[in-house]
Structure 1
Amino acid sequence: MGTKTVAACMVFLSVASAHAQQPQTENSGKAQATTPIPGIDDAAFAGSARASKLIGSKVYTGDTPIGQIEDVLVTLDHATVTAVILSVGGFLGIGDKLVAVPSKQIRVGPEARFIIDLTKEQLTNAPAFDFAKLR
């Protein structure tokens, strides 16, 4: 180990030691008061879901599974969901293709199921989505 490395380690240890010897303040261990962000409270999250938890969810037409959510597209200027990328066709992930569906065409039904009013044929005949189209 070079002398510069040893010197740097000693400086770090002396600073860490001095910090550890400082008396603790009254607020140590207590939660600090927080200031809520306007518009964000528990009510704002009601009925919300994490995007990461949506991925892999099945999408149904009636009671028939028709595909699964592969990704969610969000506009960069308005931060709104514009489309949901579905994996359709194929069997056990083989031979399937990705299709972009406008988010307005997917709704949440009973038991938090994602429902779409498009047929399997409409989805399999739709143009394949290519992530290379995105910025």
Structure 2
Amino acid sequence: MSRTTLAWVVALSTIAATPALAQTTPAQNPPAATSPAPTTATPAGADFITQAPVGQYRATKLVGVNIYNSDQQSIGEVNELVVDKAGNIKAVVIGVGGFLGIGQKNVALPYTAIKWEDKALQTATVGMAAPGTGTATTTAPAAGGGTTTATVPAADTTVRDYPDHGILDMTKEQLQSAPDFKFASEAAK
């Protein structure tokens, strides 16, 4: 054999033997390091909340909540909430006046100016609920003498993620004469 041929044979045999040398049995090499199993530990600084207590509301459900004055007269409804970067509600935007949203203006007040009520307004004097009916009866004087009996729903005991309504110690006229509220994007125009 010539030197060139011999060099080729040695080179080819080395190349062919290299993969075979790299393959070893598992007993000879320890298993490759694997990533650790996932943990259920809380990341630093994260406190997960698993349930909202009664009295904490979903912001998306506050929009549309009716606002009444202390005489139980409807004076507007929540149109929007204004939240700062820290997540604090800075204002409740109430739509007042108009009809079906036409001619309505926005007035903003601090969240704390509104007393949020979880239970529905009671518009009639409610007596004791008839057993198993979920309704109650009330008796009132009838026109022309005598009495009349009416059936009214029993008190609302439903737990919700939003208030039934809000009470604001203002009149509709005071809200309508209040200054208009403009969002930052509207004021910049």
Decide: shared fold, TM above 0.5.
yes
Per-residue deviation, residues 32-85 of structure 1 (Å, max 9, x unmatched) = 97556436243xx11222111111111111311110100001111x32111000
C-alpha distance in 2 between matches for 1:65 and 1:80: 27
2:101 counterpart residue number: 93
Report the RMSD for the aligned CA atoms in angstroms. Answer: 2.2
What is the number of residues matched between the two proteins? Answer: 100
Match of 1:27 in 2: none
Residue 72 of structure 1 corresponds to: 81
Query: What is the Cα deviation at residue 130 of structure 1?
Result: 1.1
Greater helix content: 1
Change (3 A) 1:38 1:95: same
Query: Normalised by the size of structure 2, how large is the TM-score?
Result: 0.47
Return the offset for 1:86.
0.6
Shift of 1:102: 1.1
Residue of structure 2 equivalent to 1:58: 66
The 5 Å alignment of 1:8-19 reads: none
Cα distance change on mapping 1:34 and 1:114 into 2, 3 Å: farther
Counterparts of 2:181 and 2:165 in 1: how far apart (Å)? 23
Unaligned runs of 5+ in 1: 1-31
SS in 1 for 2:56: coil
1:122 aligned to 2:155? no
Equivalent position SS for 2:176: helix
- Calculate the TM-score normalised by the size of structure 1: 0.64
**1:80-124 deviations in whole A, cap 9, x for unaligned?**
111000100112222110111111101112513211111111110
Structure with more contact order per residue of length (Cα contacts < 8 Å, sep ≥ 6): 2
Structure 1 SS opposite 2:81: strand
Higher Rg: 2
**Which runs of 5 or more residues in structure 2 are unaligned?**
1-37, 120-163
Runs of 4+ aligned residues of structure 1 deviating over 2 Å after TM superposition are 32-42
